[in-house]
Amino acid sequence: MTIFPSEAVGARQIRRRMTGALGALGVAAALMIVPGSSANAAQPSTADAGTGARAAGTGTARSFWLHLNSTPVSDAMAASEAKRHAYIVLNAWEGDLLKKLKASDPQVQVFVYKDLSSTRGYACKNGVDDQHLPAGVGYCAADRDHPDWFLLGPDGRRFEYGGYSGHWQMDIGNTAYQDAWAGNVIADSRATGFDGVFMDNALFPCDAYHSGVCPAKYPTDAQFQDAYKAMLAAMKGRFAEAGLTTVANLSNARLHNGAWDAYTEHLDGGFDEWWLAFDNTNLLPEYAEGWSRQVAEITSNEARGKITWVQPHFSPGQDKPQRYAMAGYFLGTGDKAAIAEVETTDDYGDPTARSPMYRWNLGTPTGAYRSVATNVFRRDFTCGTVIVNANGDQSSPVRLGLGADLTNERGSRVSTVTLAGTSGTVLRKTCG
């Protein structure tokens, strides 16, 4: 997840989040909603959910928008995007844009970006921290009054994120830091009028941003994660009392057994920025830390009444990752999850056109998703069906009968489908 500058620094000073895709693959963060392929542009034969974004049920896709590069937003764009998305995230200094979004649609939930894990040296000028920060604690104040809040390495030096100048890692297990972080963020959020807080960098590996070197205080992943859980638990009641919804960036939770549920227990939701599709051809199959763990992020959160934001990565016009991600999303979603695909890492500016698939209405699910073959999963709706083959790319294709004539993504009527490994389909039928 990109760390964002203060308003005085410029919108493009960013850093990349270190995550793992398949095994040792390293990937970085981004968000941009991209259009679907020309094939996806075929007119659906089923009921259309309309041009708005917020779906009331599980049969239509909800979306989110992270506007964090401070790109200009016209009044017309603000009015359109407020209606298009269920959730929008802004920088702390974008209060004027917040007002425009809320004026257009009071129901859109607007979050402020705040980093849990670092303070920013570049947001401190002449000994004074900026009024609105991308973090919860100012660098100048911490450096002057609370040097013990900075996390130290085995050599006794502060951790500056590798490759990201001015990003200083803080001791999230320090109760005084936790208290100050919560108090500052709540005060800033309420004064501006945000609905919630998007907490970046709820980390899992102790060597995040400094590979192979863990903090002296938290030398193991388990100790490091315990510190995050303690911080989230300590703040939970305060944010609830303040009426602020909390969603944290939990990228790579799937690599740490039980970590997603353990963190979200103290939150209103979680965000997975690398979800099922890592690029046009690198799609997550089923294995111990693979497909099921990521889909379970949605199903677990929905069962507990929590929000889930998922972000696949692929280019416009790429049918296979689009369908794999959307079918996986529909397998698990209820009335709170949202999806937004991205092509370019760290492009957090204007939203782009998106696939017509976001407007399709599959109706009401007839049950939870189920296995119909080895690593092949299906969920039926009153107005459609979704199927995913989560076997690897080199596996043999699977042919399935549908039990009825349905409309595929190209607008053709089909009674069977053949799915290669790591592929999916979203099928519709005409509903009254």
DSSP result, 116-148: SSEEEGGGEETTEE-SS-SBSS-HHHHHHH-GG
Report the C-alpha gap between 205 and 112 in whole angstroms. 25
pLDDT of residue 316: 86
Q: The sheet that has 370-373: what strands, in order across it?
A: 370-373, 376-381, 384-389, 423-428, 398-407, 413-419
pLDDT of residue 351: 81
Higher pLDDT, 405 or 5: 405
The residues near 287 (Cβ < 8 Å, ≥ 6 apart) are none
Mean pLDDT of 275-284: 96
- Highest average pLDDT, of 9-13, 58-62, 216-220, comes from 216-220
CA Rg value for the chain? 22
pLDDT digits (tens, 9 = 90+) for 341-378: 988 777 778 786 678 899 999 999 999 999 999 999 99
Tell whether the model's pLDDT for residue 14 goes beyond 70: no
pLDDT grade, residue 12 (50/70/90)?
very low
pLDDT digits (tens, 9 = 90+) for 296-323: 999 999 999 999 999 999 998 899 999 9
Residue 347's nearest CA partner among 6, 14, 7, 64 is: 14
pLDDT of residue 404: 95
Asked whether the CA dihedral 66, 71, 75, 80 is positive or negative, the reply is negative
pLDDT grade, residue 332 (50/70/90)?
very high
Report the C-alpha gap between 198 and 109 in whole angstroms. 11
- Are 268 and 246 spatial neighbours (Cβ–Cβ below 8 Å)? yes
pLDDT of residue 345: 73
- Are 107 and 127 spatial neighbours (Cβ–Cβ below 8 Å)? no
Tell whether the model's pLDDT for residue 236 goes beyond 50: yes
Mean pLDDT of 100-109: 97
What is the pLDDT of the chain when averaged over all its residues? Answer: 88
Tell whether the model's pLDDT for residue 20 goes beyond 50: no
Residue 371's nearest CA partner among 298, 291, 274 is: 291
Q: 237: helix, coil or strand? A: helix
pLDDT of residue 348: 78
Q: 97: helix, coil or strand? A: helix
pLDDT of residue 432: 64
DSSP string, 144-205: HH-GGGB-B-TTSPBPB-TT-TTEEEB-TT-HHHHHHHHHHHHHHHHHHT-SEEEEE----S
Report the C-alpha gap between 146 and 137 in whole angstroms. 10
Tell whether the model's pLDDT for residue 391 goes beyond 70: yes
- Are 46 and 361 spatial neighbours (Cβ–Cβ below 8 Å)? yes
pLDDT of residue 354: 75
pLDDT of residue 317: 87
Q: β-strands 124-125, 128-129: how paired? A: antiparallel
Total-model pTM:
0.89
pLDDT grade, residue 100 (50/70/90)?
very high
pLDDT of residue 314: 92
